[in-house]
A = this chain, B = another copy of it.
Amino acid sequence: MKLYEKVALVLRDNIESGLFVVGDKLPSIRQLVAEHKVSISTVQQAYHQLEIESLIEARPKSGYFVCYQRSASVLPATSRPAQRPIEVSQWQQVLEVLLSKEGVDTIQLQHAMPNMTESTLKPLLKKMSDLMRHQVALSLPYGDIKGALVLREQIAQLATNSGCVLHPDDLVITSGCQEGLSVCLRAVTNPGDIIAVESPSFYGSMQAIQAANLKAIEIPTNAETGLSLAALELALEQWPIKAILVTPTCNNPMGYCMPEADKKRLYQLAQSYDICIIEDDIYGDISYQLPRPKTIKSFDEDGRVLLCSSFSKTVAPGIRVGWIAPGRYRDKVTHVKYVSSSMCPTLPQLAIADFIHSGRYNKHTRRVRLLYKQGRDHLIQCIKKYFPQDTRISFPQGGYILWVELNKHYDVVKLAAQCKQGEVSIAPGTLFSATGKYRNCMRLNFSEQTEVERERGIRHLAHYIKKQSIVEGHH
């Protein structure tokens, strides 16, 4: 860690722990120079870093001020799913969401679709267009079964940001993260095996569990720290769990980042029960924190972590470029990937490799990370303004989705159906449970809309919620 990063770390801790609150003036540069025994430029760099992270702002001739607001809303309570292996249902509902066509006027809060209008994405589009014009012949033959080497090299380099040391040979390119998760599940399990998952949990991975003839055991999950390790350990003692499937960094749908110590502890648990971890890191690179949080994979000593990611959430889902770092399951994963869809198209891989290599991927994620953080704060503000008082809201540390828990009398499935005819689309919480729990919850995104649209969408939602409370006689 560089000197300025150390100084920034101390300041960040002080802000995030609430020692300095929004609007507070921070120590002067001179004070910090004396306190930390570093140069003026080191302190300036530290402050600059915190500015990038939107934690502080410089006011001309006045100094630096905190602009970071801790969540003042109540977080959803730790979930209490049934503690036994169950078959995943809910496919019909997932399908409805997948097939839903939104009107041009619909405010889309439903899909986890990234912002794809920023100018920082343009170099990628240009590269794709150039490749298609000048190297179109590359789009015709079969490519490398493990994916284009130049891309695997870039991904290996990128992974150092999350504390991973990977060799290009340790990577297998997939058609998005969905294929990665499906392939990993099938590579490490046999039909009938039990998989431990967070609850709530991404519906795509749960449907993959179902399709692979596996059972899920939903583990209680805290809205701030993720999977309850105590509950997991209990489940591990009680059931022959084969693998743990988690999204510990910028979780979908909650947005939390599991603390580093917990990630390490989770890895040690997997070691002591000799099972593997499938780690979904698809939102990891758009954590609001810089440097980005470490992956569980970064603690992996014996290859038992299969890390899955893709550029679908950080860049664009239509690119369909994902990857697996399969650890000691490399051969099996290569087999299942080949069987799954043979090789992936070459040109998108080359375009992404160039996007990373030129530094533009980092530039793009830096840009959208700020936007998303602002989006989060704005969405939370809107929800607090319009939704019932007893609403609970998760407080994402990255990505662009959050979890809303209404009081238990509300029926969000009904709400979603009512909204569908209208102006706003949402993802009901039942999608994120194996058995249709979380009927009073919803996942909302804050990536694409303008602030005006977002507020309008939330107002519409609030309107339907109010109608429901009047009809049903609760509030």
Contacts and interface: CB of A to CB of B under 8 A. Distances in A.
Contacts of A125: 136-137, 139
Contacts of A38: none
A434 to B, nearest CB: 14
Interface in A408-456: none
19 contacts: A94-B338, A95-B145, A121-B140, A128-B132, A129-B129, A139-B318, A139-B319, A140-B318, A174-B341, A175-B341, A178-B339, A179-B342, A186-B211, A191-B191, A204-B342, A208-B339, A318-B345, A320-B344, A340-B341
Contact of A133 (B129, B179, B213, B346): B129
A335 interface: yes
Interface of A: 91, 94-95, 98-99, 111, 113, 116, 121, 125, 128-129, 132-133, 136-143, 145, 174-176, 178-179, 182, 186, 190-191, 204, 207-208, 210-211, 213, 316-320, 334-336, 338-342, 344-346, 348
Contacts of A143: 318
Contact of A346 (B145, B182, B318, B336): B318
Contacts of A141: 113, 116, 316-318
A204 B113 CA distance: 34
B341 A176 contact: yes
Contacts of A190: 191, 213
A182 to B, nearest CB: 6
Given A213-B190, A318-B345, A346-B318, A339 B140 contact: no
Contact of A334 (B95, B176, B339): B95
The 9 closest A-B pairs by CB, nearest first: A140-B316, A179-B341, A191-B191, A132-B132, A178-B342, A175-B341, A211-B339, A98-B145, A140-B318
Given A111-B142, A175-B341, A190-B213, A91 B348 contact: no
B128 A136 contact: yes
Contacts of A138: 318
B318 A182 contact: no
A446 to B, nearest CB: 17
B207 A335 contact: yes
Contacts of A182: 339-341
Nearest to A186: B211
A182 B338 CA distance: 10
Nearest to A125: B136
A94 B145 CA distance: 11
User: How many copies of the shown chain assemble into the complex?
Assistant: 2
Contacts of A317: 140-142, 342
Contacts of A335: 91, 95, 207, 211
B128 A139 contact: yes
Contact of A336 (B133, B211, B316, B344): B211
A454 to B, nearest CB: 19
A132 B318 CA distance: 13
B341 A145 contact: no
Contacts of A176: 341-342
Nearest to A175: B341
Contact of A179 (B116, B132, B210, B340): B340
Nearest to A101: B144
A432 to B, nearest CB: 16
Contacts of A178: 338-342
Contacts of A136: 125, 128-129
Nearest to A138: B318
A254 to B, nearest CB: 21
Given A132-B132, A142-B318, A345-B320, A338 B207 contact: yes
A91 B187 CA distance: 14
Most buried by B among A141, A191, A213, A342: A342
Contacts of A213: 190-191
B207 A339 contact: yes
Contacts of A316: 139-141
Contacts of A319: 139-140, 345
Contacts of A111: 142
A370 to B, nearest CB: 20
A11 B338 CA distance: 45
Contact of A116 (B113, B140, B145, B208): B140
